[in-house]
Structure formats: C-alpha cells, structure tokens
A and B are shown apart, each in its own frame.
Chain A
Amino acid sequence: MISPFAPSSSQPGHGKILLSLLPPSIPILQTCSYQYPLKLIAPHALTINNHIIYTVFLLTYGGGLVAGDALNLSIHLDPNTRLVLLTQGSTKIFKTPSRELVSRQYTRLFVDQGAGLCYIPDPVQPFKDSCFEQVQIFEVPEGGSICICDWVCQGRTARGENWHFYKYTSKNEVYLTDKETGKRRLLLRDNVLLEDGTTNDPLSYANRIDSLGVFGTLILRGPLFEKLGKYFMAEFAILPRIGARNWDGDVDDETDLVDVKRKRRQRQETKDGLLWTAASMRGFVLVKFGAKEVEGVKRWLGVMLRTEGSVETLFGEGSLLCLK
C-alpha cells in the first residue's frame, strides 16, 4: 500500500545554523532551523568589544537522546562572524533495548577565515546500557578559529553507574581545503572509541580511563585562540613534577599574585584528581583532561579560561555558562 501523501520534506533531528555577513560587516543569524527531537534557541545577540556575538543553545526534548535518535546539524560561519554554542545541562544518553539501536549526533561545521566558534557544552552523560556515536566534522580555512570542548562522564553516579554503557564513540575531525589544488587535507582526527568493553575484565572501560569519572578534549585552533593555546602549553610545562619531593613545604611567595593563584589551582587539581596534558601540533593546541568528577573539570577549566581571559574578552561571560 502506497501512501497517498507526498513524502515529508522535514527530517527528524535535522538542524541548520547559518551565520552570514551583511555588507559591509554586519553579521546576521540568517538561518536557525530545527526538527524534533532537536531544538535550537537563539537569544538576542550581544555586542562585546564592538563585535556582535550570536549564541545558540543546542537542546533536545527530554534533555538527551533516546535509542535510535539521530541529530544531524549543519553549522556555517561566514568570514568574521562569531558564534557561541551552549547546552543546558549534560546531554543524557538513555538506555537502549539493543546494542544495534544507537543514538547518533552528526555535526558539520564550517568556520570561515576571521570567524570564531566557541563551543564549550556540558558533558555527555551516557546511562547504563546506552549506545552513542558522535561525529563532528570541521572545515576550517586558514584564519578561522575554533575552541571546542568535547567531554563525557561515567553516567549517573547516584545510581552507581561507572562507565556501564555499551558504547560511546566521539570523533572530531578538522579538514583544510587547499585553495589552489582543491585537495582536502586531514589536519586533526581525535577519535575516542569505547565500543567493545565488558564491565569486569582488565579491559573494562573504567580501567581504560584509569578509574576517573570524567574525561575530555579541548581543541584550540586559529588566531583568536593562539594566546590561549600558548597559555595552556606554558602552564603545562610548569606543572609540579610527578615524584618530586617538596623540600620547602607549601610556602607561597605572597607578593606574586599570579603565582599564588597558580599554586591554588594546582592544589585544587590534586584534590579533584585532575590530570591534564597539552600538546601543540599542526597548528592546534590539544588539551586532554580527566578528573574524578564533573565539578572538578568545571572548576579547573573555568579557572584556566578565566585567568587567561581570551574567551571572555572575545565571546563574553556567557560563553562559559556550561562551566558554572
């Protein structure tokens, strides 16, 4: 039996954000469309240091994805536009009836030269027996800037969940297209795969994450985040050595405020079981981090980003909302 109705043109879970530039230099949110179960909310644009900043909240009905949900998001930033992407609370991944029924989030992003994207969401929270796949593909010409945080936590700790999902995979790829040859080059592929674990053998997910409760990656690229990237590299280089004796005790030089703040942050890192590492490669600064709890990461990343200051100066305080 054939349906007498024309096929629907709206596809569930699809969304599109187009930030374009009206001549001479006025950015406008030209498109912000979405279909259930995805929801996009765009509050009024803010003007920060003479730049118009757009903010879009990525939401889903029920605060997460149920098995079989598929989000398909396309985001385009014209030259010299700026966008902040946020979430409202962690993205829950609900239990699936079978391993084959996966929740998916697929996002394509184009960040043109001079444009800047700041995407620091809440973590993904996969429940016990859930399946989630995320793919984020960025096309960033030289001069485009991105600050992307992608992180995940162990589940509902109150229910004793400790990386008890079936599957969680998250892939971030950044491409650059050569203007002359038209050839597309892979600049970065950060692919985390937790897909075939059991709960009790030496290869359990909890063991593979060194018994931490949360981990993630921060990806920085482009002129807007160059200073921030250098800051992470410099702070990493002067972290306290592992296995060193502390001969002078905890005596701070109280005249040096920067140093006092740094020591305080480092002590908090130890308390929160926070481990991080930074690498500078192929025009990126990549920061990998893990901690016992989500709050620990929020504290640490919040202090790092606010102390350095670029993100708030460029995108406003609201851009760090998810770290509150």
Chain B
Amino acid sequence: MTDPSPEQQAALKQEIALLEQKLKHAKAQLNDAVQEEEAVAPLLYHTSNELPHNTTSTLPTHSLHTLLLLSDSALPLGSFAFSSGLESFLAHEKVKVASSGNTANPSQLSSFHIFLKVSLQSLASAALPYVLAAYREPSRIEEWDNDFDASAICTVARRASVAQGRALLSVWERSFRDHHTLTSSSTSTDAISFLASFSTSLKSSSHNAYPPNAHLAPLWGILTLILSIPLHSSAYLFLFSHARTVISAAVRASVLGPYQAQHVLASTELRDLMKGLVERYWDRRTEDAGQTVPAVDLWVGRHELLYSRIFNS
C-alpha cells in the first residue's frame, strides 16, 4: 500500500477539522438544551406533590413571580387593542364566502383555528429570532431594533409592535426597575445599562434619519434577560401572550365564547405547536428571520380598509 499523497493528506486533515467542528457544535447544542431543560423543567413539568427543598431544582421565586407578572393579561401593554390581523382576516373571509356563493362554507370558528395557527407561525418566524437575539446579545439592542424595523414592512403591524414595545419599556421604567437594580446578577446589570442607554437615545434622537423605535420583540428579549427569566420560558411566553391576545380578540369579535376560548388556550395542540415553533426557530439568526405566511402581510396591511373596526390591528 502506498502512502497517501500530500493532497490526500491535506484533504483528510481538512475533513478531520470539519468533523471536529461539527462535534463541537453538536456538544454545544446538547449543552444548551440540557441547561434549558434544567431551567425550564421545574416550571413546566414539575409534578411532585412535595414542596421542593432543593432550591436549585426549581425556578427561583423571584423569576416565577416576574414570569407571572409578564403573563398577566392586565400587564399594561395595551395588547387588548390589537387583533394581529384577525379582524381583517374575518372580514376578508366574509367577502370570499359572499362572492363564492358556496353554501357549504367553513364556519367562522374553523377558519379562526387556521388563523391562530398561521398567525403564531408567522410571529415565530418573523419576530422570535429577535427575542432570542436580544436576550443572547443585549449589547446590540439598537441594531436588533433597527433590523426589526427594517423587516416590519406593514404600517399596521409596525404601529402595533412599537406601541406595545414602548409600553413594555414604560412598565420596566415605572414599575419593575426599582425592584431589580439591587438584587440582580452582573449580566442583568449590564443589560440594564444597555436598556437605559437605548431608552435615552429613543427619547433624544428625533433628528436621526433612522431613529430607534422600541419594537416589542427585541425589548421582550432584553427585558426577560434582565428579569432573569430563562430564555426558553421567555420565548414560549412571547408566543403564548400572542396566542392569548388573538384568542381574546376572537372572543370580543364573537367568534368564540369565553369557555371555548379557554379550551383552545389550554389545548395540547396549541401547546405542542408553540413548543415546536420555539424549537424550530431556536437557532435562527435574525438575518434569516422572515415572513412564512405571506397572507398575514395582506390581512394586516388591509386592516386600514375595514369599514368598521373594533381593533387597532
């Protein structure tokens, strides 16, 4: 047997380097997943009847407390004013049904179920990567906000995102901040200063051609980091809040009754969908975030054309 030529050796070396890199990446991913699992498991899957004595096996009480605050529909973000395109979607469905003349059309309820799914799908692909990015790299908050602004290409959706993002910032500054500056970790302290300087430039940069906007997704990411909520929970809650808002809008639009609404919100189907979406977009870079449901842009954009409206989006 002859020795491999220098070229073959080089090729082999390159292959080894590549495989080592892959191994390293896989290990890192496993590590992340395990850490997440540990952080989230007690909160989501804790089933024991005993009060856990070991404090490391459960979410710290202050994180649980803030998680509950953020998931409360009374959090003053004004989310109740937005239907994320549901109202417009229903109006377009009505026109379609009327023009098709087909009597065997699906009920409003079944089209709502489709809407809820595509709406979550759309939010997860377009906004979730920014939640994750702002949590992982809070120092780049201005950049995440700018890039999200560049990608939010619909007037109505921009308005909704900015209104809720700014409200979230106010909630932090007026309600949460006093309780967190002293007790928090060093990552959290850094993030607080990044958020503070972002807030300052938000208030002072009216002369700038492309001023900061304070979109909800990046602010959600940085704020949940400050509040020491595990990343997975933050991402899941981001989707959950959206689902809750859309379902609540459906109740007010008389598509669902209140019990039906809770039934949908509690369903394993919805839970699995959101869990799957968090997994799917976990490693998605913001450069590759985008619209996976093109119809959402049309529905949300045409919300302004509705003859009568009860929502802002």
A binds B: yes
Q: B-contacting residues of A (Cβ < 8 Å)?
A: 2, 169, 171, 185-196, 202-203, 207-210, 212, 215, 217, 239-244, 270, 275-282, 286, 288-290
Give per-residue flags for B69-85: 1 if the beta carbon is below 8 A from chain A beta carbons, else 0: 00000000000000000
CA distance A16 to B298 in the complex (A): 35
A187, closest chain B residue (CB): B150
B161 interfacial by beta-carbon distance below 8 Å: no
Question: Could you tell me if B151 and A191 are in contact, using CB atoms closer than 8 angstroms?
Answer: yes
Of A171, A189, A195, the residue contacting B147 (CB under 8 A) is: A189
Of the A-B pairs whose beta carbons lie under 8 Å apart in the complex, a sample of 28, sorted by A's number, is: A185-B146, A186-B147, A186-B150, A187-B210, A188-B153, A189-B287, A191-B289, A193-B291, A195-B292, A196-B280, A202-B118, A208-B118, A210-B92, A215-B298, A217-B153, A241-B305, A242-B92, A242-B302, A275-B298, A275-B302, A276-B298, A277-B154, A277-B297, A277-B298, A279-B153, A281-B158, A282-B210, A288-B297
Majority secondary structure, A binding face: strand
* Known interface pairs A207-B118, A241-B307; A193-B150 also in contact (CB < 8 Å): no
Of B94, B150, B152, B292, the residue contacting A243 (CB under 8 A) is: B94
A185 to chain B, nearest CB (A): 6
CA distance A158 to B91 in the complex (A): 31
Question: Could you tell me if B295 and A290 are in contact, using CB atoms closer than 8 angstroms?
Answer: yes
B302 to chain A, nearest CB (A): 5
B97 interfacial by beta-carbon distance below 8 Å: no
Question: Could you tell me if A208 and B295 are in contact, using CB atoms closer than 8 angstroms?
Answer: yes
CA distance A212 to B294 in the complex (A): 10
Question: Could you tell me if A277 and B290 are in contact, using CB atoms closer than 8 angstroms?
Answer: no
A186, closest chain B residue (CB): B150
Of A185, A188, A243, A290, the residue contacting B91 (CB under 8 A) is: A243
* Known interface pairs A2-B7, A203-B118, A282-B150; A215-B294 also in contact (CB < 8 Å): yes
Question: Could you tell me if B114 and A207 are in contact, using CB atoms closer than 8 angstroms?
Answer: yes
B219 to chain A, nearest CB (A): 18
CA distance A316 to B20 in the complex (A): 57
Question: In the assembled complex, which residues on chain B have CB atoms less than 8 Å from the CB atom of A280?
Answer: 155
CA distance A196 to B288 in the complex (A): 14
